[in-house]
């Protein structure tokens, strides 16, 4: 089983990525805010975020998992799961 490299803050990284794509300040991204309903994200933005996550962490996100990425908390949890495999 793999583990995260020391010093990697998945939540901060993903929060910054989401903030950049939404053109928001990272501290304005609530961990439980729904990307689409609360933050106004569209499907292209969501794909951009997932592509950024895949590139940053050098992981592949299975297509069937895409609908599960609904908020920051869930996204961080799913990415940590993928990184630990």
- Give domain status of residue 1, yes or no: no
- Give domain status of residue 77, yes or no: yes
**Which residues 6+ apart lie within 8 Å of 31 measured at CB?**
11, 71, 72, 73
**8-59 pLDDT, tens digit each:** 799 999 999 999 999 999 999 999 999 999 999 998 999 999 999 999 999 9
Residue 8 is predicted with a pLDDT of 75
* pTM for the structure as a whole: 0.87
Domain assignment of residue 15, given as a range: 10-83
83, pLDDT greater than 50: yes
Residue 1 is predicted with a pLDDT of 44
- Give domain status of residue 5, yes or no: no
- Give domain status of residue 70, yes or no: yes
**Which residues 6+ apart lie within 8 Å of 59 measured at CB?**
53, 79, 82, 83
CATH code where residue 53 lies = 1.10.1200.10
- Give domain status of residue 4, yes or no: no
* Tally of domains within the chain: 1
Residue 40 is predicted with a pLDDT of 95
User: Whole-angstrom distance between the N-terminal and C-terminal Cα of the chain?
Assistant: 5
């Amino acid at each position: 089983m793999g583990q995260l490299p020391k010093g990697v803050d998945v939540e901060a990284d993903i929060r910054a990525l989401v903030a950049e794509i939404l053109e928001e300040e990272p501290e304005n991204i609530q961990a439980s805010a729904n990307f689409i309903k609360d933050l106004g994200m569209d499907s292209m933005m969501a794909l951009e975020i997932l592509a950024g996550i895949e590139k940053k962490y050098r992981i592949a996100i299975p297509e069937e998992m895409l609908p599960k990425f609904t908020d920051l908390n869930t996204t961080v949890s799913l990415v940590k799961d993928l990184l630990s495999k």
